[in-house]
Structure formats: structure tokens, C-alpha cells
Amino acid sequence: MLVQQTSKLKEEIERLKKEKDVVILAHNYQIPEVQDVADFTGDSLGLSRQAAKVPQKTILFCGVNFMAETAAIISPQKKVILPDLEAGCSLSDSITVDELRNWKKQHPGAIAVGYVNTTAEIKAELDYCCTSSNAVNVVKAIPEDKEILFLPDMFLGSYVAKMTGRKNMHIWAGECHVHAGITPEDVTKKLDSMKDAEFVIHPECSCTTPMMYDVADGSFDNQKVSILSTEGMLNHVKESKAKNFVVATETGILYRMRQQNPDKKFIPASEKAECQYMKMITLEKVHDALVNEKNIVTVPKDIADKARLAIDRMLAIS
């Protein structure tokens, strides 16, 4: 009965998005049923870039709030809908705009660098946005005598400071509460239990940053470790001769990996690495959002214009 209902709902969603000229973007950490009805799946930045390119005037973004905001900033002429406005992000919530302004006052002249997992208001206060994959290069592009305020992920900040040797970096003490729990011990145990397992880390997800720090520290020297973007990660496991993989990221990505590689085995670094905010988006909510075209995400023009500067600088640095 449930399978029948799901199938009917998927058909209805397909009909509505064609009828209303809507494109559905879904983050890799969405539930499988939502990924199935998406036109594009990927990470937050990749999906935002997609949002700027697609011909449809309405974007239904199956992800969390800051991602829909980023899409609205990059594509101001389009309507962006989020199926559930309560879908937030613990990392994004770990710093407020007032806290950032006070921090900047304490360090006049410092360059503010913020992770893409932040609100539009925070982005408007930044000099540079960054992702995990280009954070090191963004910091390297800043003159060495300039103080840097790095936010909000303390694990990513520690990793960047280690990789750049930067001594004048101040790091905000924020973390993703779901993913900070993946420990090197969990990973080591999984790797030891699987013959010839490769260890794959997703750099765009805050959960992996403690591990990135350990990789930089040489903790996994005897294992094959790859730090890759979402598409890079999916391409890598497809092309790799290995049959077993330990995957350090939110467990949602395993759905696509298993679909594309039925002959390979994928084990999450931690079964508990599930983002309850990402899982708030359901097929019913996607359908409801299509029918009623509600939950439109807008960013005030003054904030969007300032935030776009930080995002554009990020896009310019690979």
C-alpha cells in the first residue's frame, strides 16, 4: 500500500513540475524518495551553480535553509521554494550576525572568511566565502600580514591553519552537532574490519573536518585516503578498483553510491551521521510545496548584494 502511495505521489510530482515549469534540486543527503524526483542532485554549491543555469523560473530546493538562500542570492530573478522552512543547520546556527559584528570590532582590519554553511546575513558580513575544498587556497590568497577571522567550523579552521602554517588566524568555536561525533576510532574500527577498504572523505561536509585534520596529521598513513568533492567522490568510487569503501559523510550519499555501483560495498564511517534537518523534507512536503507554491525564500537586496561579493570571490578561487 505504502509503495503504491509513494509511486502515485512521485507521478503527481513529475506532472506538476512539468505543468508549472519547476526544477527540483536535491542535496545528496536527502531521503532516497526525494532524490528520485529531483532533476539534479549534488552538494549545496554545485546545486546553487545549477540554479543559476537552469531555464526554469522556479526552483524547488530540497535541502536546508542556507542552501535555498544561496540559490536565491545567485539567481535573484528566480523564485526559490523550500519544502520546509524549519529545515535549518546546526553549524550555520553556531554564530549570529551580532556575534560576528562584535568579533570584527575586536579585530579591526582582519579579513573575515566564512564557510558556505552560513546564513545570508553572515555572508553579507564576510570578505570571502569558502568551501572545505578551497578553504586552504582562499586563506593562501590573503596577504600573510593580514589577521584572519575564520568561521564557523572549528575543525575546518584548525585544518586550514595546519595546512597553511598561518599563525594569525582566529577560529570560531562552531561545529555541526550531528557530524562532530564521527571519531577517528569509529573510522579505524571500520577500516580494520574490511579487507582492502578505501577511506573516502567528502570535503564539502562539516562532518569530515575532524578527519581531514587527522589526515593532515598522518593518522591514516597506512590506508588509501581520498578527500574529494561530492561529484569527485562519486566518480572516484565508480573508477576505483577497490570493492570496499568507508565513507565519511552524512549517510544520505550512500543511496547514490549503491545505485551507481551495485557490485561494491559502502559502509558509513558512522551510522549516526544523519542530519535530522535534511531528513525533514518528505515527498508529501515536496508535493505540497508544488501545489501551493508556498515557503518562498527571499533575501533582501542589500544583504544579497553584499553576500554575492563574498560568494563571487569564493567562486573565483578554485
CATH of the domain at 253: 3.40.50.10800
pLDDT score for 41: 93
Instruction: Find the mean pLDDT for residues 225-231.
Output: 76
Q: Which residue has the higher pLDDT, 215 or 254?
A: 254
Quick one: 11 and 62 in the same domain? yes
C-alpha cell at 303: 544583504
Quick one: 283 and 252 in the same domain? no
Quick one: 100 and 42 in the same domain? no
Q: Is residue 230 part of a domain?
A: yes
Instruction: Find the mean pLDDT for residues 132-149.
Output: 92
DSSP 136-154: HHHHHTS-TTS-EEEESBH
Binding residues for iminosuccinate: 27, 44, 115-117, 132, 202-204, 230
1 pLDDT more than 80:
no
Binding residues for [4Fe-4S] cluster: 89, 176, 275
210 pLDDT more than 90:
no
Instruction: Find the mean pLDDT for residues 48-66.
Output: 92
The per-residue pLDDT for range 114-129, each reduced to its tens digit, is 988 899 999 999 999 9
pLDDT score for 142: 96
Quick one: 196 and 262 in the same domain? yes
Q: Is residue 286 part of a domain?
A: yes
pLDDT class of 195 with cuts at 50, 70, 90? confident
Binding residues: 27, 44, 89, 115-117, 132, 176, 202-204, 230, 275
Tell which of 176, 193, 228 closes a domain: 176
Tell which of 176, 200, 227 closes a domain: 176
4 pLDDT more than 90:
no
Give the C-alpha distances (Å, rounded to integers) separating 216 from 30, 219, 246.
30, 8, 18
Q: Is residue 48 part of a domain?
A: yes
Q: Is residue 305 part of a domain?
A: no
Quick one: 121 and 150 in the same domain? yes
Q: Is residue 314 part of a domain?
A: no
207 pLDDT more than 50:
no
pTM above 0.85, yes or no: yes
Count of domains observed in the chain: 3
The per-residue pLDDT for range 75-105, each reduced to its tens digit, is 999 999 999 999 999 889 999 999 999 999 9
Write down the mean pLDDT value for the chain. Answer: 89
Quick one: 96 and 80 in the same domain? no
Quick one: 83 and 97 in the same domain? no
Q: Is residue 311 part of a domain?
A: no
Cα–Cα distance measured from residue 288 to residue 62, given in angstroms and rounded to the nearest whole number: 13
Quick one: 48 and 102 in the same domain? no
pLDDT score for 193: 82
Quick one: 282 and 224 in the same domain? no
Q: Is residue 206 part of a domain?
A: yes
Tell which of 176, 201, 234 closes a domain: 176
DSSP 101-124: HHHHHHSTTPEEEEESSS-HHHHT
Q: Which domain holds residue 234?
A: 184-268
pLDDT score for 183: 74
32 pLDDT more than 60:
yes
Give the C-alpha distances (Å, rounded to integers) separating 112 from 13, 40, 45, 94, 115.
42, 32, 20, 16, 10
| Element of type H or E holding 91 | none
Q: Is residue 189 part of a domain?
A: yes
The per-residue pLDDT for range 9-25, each reduced to its tens digit, is 999 999 999 999 999 99
Q: Which residue has the higher pLDDT, 155 or 40?
A: 40
